[in-house]
Structure 1
Amino acid sequence: MLEWFFIALAVILVIVALWAVAAYNGLVTLRNLVQEAWRQIDVELQRRHDLIPNLVETVKGYAKHERETLEAVTQARTIAAAPGSSPAEQAAQENILTQALGRLFAVAEAYPDLKANQNFMQLQQELTNTEDRVAAGRRFYNANVRTLNTRIETFPTVIIANMFGFAREEYFETEDAARQAPNVQF
């Protein structure tokens, strides 16, 4: 009888150990997915940051007296392109840059020759495409963060997460133009 008890205990311990290994490996996989998704966003943000100086130079040729707006865009780009920010800090920096770019495009509206300039139109299109890729990357990143955070917070995986120091990740939330009401004028 005692022999069956030890066999049952050994089987239970093996099952618990297998579950712990699977839970740990699942958390590592999710953490790596989150890191990979963040790196993709970082690549797209860098692409965005690289387009901005060309855009500013193009506008400069047409709007020489709009120095304040051009400097605001350049300064916002410099801050946003600085490495080492958390997702929340990066989102705040990107929001400031987006607002500065909005002012730059408003300035461009006052210059019909600039709006018709092929280089400006191409840069504006590239920036729009990049913004779309950043938005897609943000959705992918946030979905992975949600999955990881849920797994870290739910029982019984929370035990393994706490034992091995897995921590919640931050979401990357920026102000979307789609969230803001359009300004319509007739």
Structure 2
Amino acid sequence: MVWFIVGACVLALVVLALFLTLLRFNQLSMARSLCDEAKRQLLVELRGRHALVPAYIGTLQQVTTQDLSSVELALASAERAPFGPRGAAAESALTRAVDDAAQIPSQIGDRAIATDSSLAMQASPSEELDTTISLLHGQLNVLTDRILSGARIYNTNVDLYHRQRERVVSRLFQNVFKAREPFTEAQPQQTFTEAQPQQQSGAQDQSGPAGS
């Protein structure tokens, strides 16, 4: 009778362990799927913006002779950058380049008016091109907002997924459920050897006036 009770308890523990293991496996699988789906949607928005930038550059080239290579280089870098911190940094650089280029038509018009008001109409871009540039820039801004929103959703899912992976039972499946790279710019971290001389110089600066 005693052995029967012990055997039943052991069997119950084994069944419970299997149940918890399967439950954790399903939770990890669901968390990974959420990350992959968020990444897929984010990539759609990124590719949509990359496809629109050439039309934006082409329209700007019709109204200015200024060098737009910075936008072209930013686009090329964003298209080549791997998904992750490097990709996020490249997308931020592309956003800045696009916003800077959007100021070119107004700068041309201001310079033309300042030079000679009688030549303002000849020097300034046509209203059609101005409208097209504004519309394209507006569409790019909408895509940028979607990218930022998609990146937040993706990074939130990645954070939750990584927390799931760090739990005790989840460590059994770490070779199956690989880590996902967040889509955020890597923040430069100051090393201890770089920070120490600065702290020492700061302490000397503070002690100098006190001694005098």
TM-score, normalized by length of structure 1?
0.82
Whether the aligned pair in 2 keeps the contact of 1:88 and 1:172 (CA below 8 Å) is: yes
Whether the aligned pair in 2 keeps the contact of 1:27 and 1:148 (CA below 8 Å) is: yes
Match of 1:138 among 151, 156, 161: 151
Cα distance, 1:100 vs structure 2: 1.8
Name the counterpart of 2:104.
Answer: 107
Cα distance in 2 for partners of 1:39, 1:89 equals 18
Cα distance in 1 for partners of 2:104, 2:27 equals 50
Cα distance, 1:122 vs structure 2: 1.0
Structure 2 CA distance for partners of 1:89 and 1:119, relative to 1, 3 Å: same
Cα distance in 1 for partners of 2:184, 2:125 equals 32
Match of 1:82 among 76, 80, 83: 80
Q: Deviations over 1:118-163 (max 9, x none)?
A: 2111101111111111111111101101110111113x2343333x
Cα distance in 2 for partners of 1:123, 1:72 equals 18
Cα distance in 1 for partners of 2:141, 2:96 equals 14
- The two structures, once aligned, show a CA RMSD in angstroms of 2.0
Cα distance, 1:108 vs structure 2: 3.2
Cα distance in 1 for partners of 2:126, 2:42 equals 29
Name the counterpart of 2:4.
Answer: 3
Whether the aligned pair in 1 keeps the contact of 2:95 and 2:144 (CA below 8 Å) is: no
Name the counterpart of 2:23.
Answer: 22
User: Counterpart of 1:121 in 2: which secondary structure?
Assistant: helix
1:126 has 2:139 as partner: yes
Cα distance in 2 for partners of 1:157, 1:62 equals 62
Cα distance, 1:10 vs structure 2: 0.7
Structure 2 CA distance for partners of 1:32 and 1:147, relative to 1, 3 Å: same
Cα distance in 1 for partners of 2:50, 2:69 equals 14
1:157 has 2:169 as partner: yes
Cα distance in 1 for partners of 2:146, 2:185 equals 14
Cα distance in 2 for partners of 1:167, 1:161 equals 9
TM-score, normalized by length of structure 2?
0.73
Query: In the alignment, residue 157 of structure 1 is paired with which amino acid?
Result: V
Query: In the alignment, residue 101 of structure 2 is paired with which amino acid?
Result: L
Q: Deviations over 1:31-63 (max 9, x none)?
A: 111111111111101111111111111111111
State the structure with more CA Rg: 2
Cα distance in 1 for partners of 2:126, 2:161 equals 45
Cα distance, 1:115 vs structure 2: 9.2
1:170 has 2:181 as partner: yes
Cα distance in 2 for partners of 1:6, 1:114 equals 87
Gaps of 5+ in 1: 176-186
Whether the aligned pair in 2 keeps the contact of 1:24 and 1:160 (CA below 8 Å) is: no
Q: Deviations over 1:8-47 (max 9, x none)?
A: 1011101100110110111111111111111111110111
Percent sequence identity over aligned pairs: 24
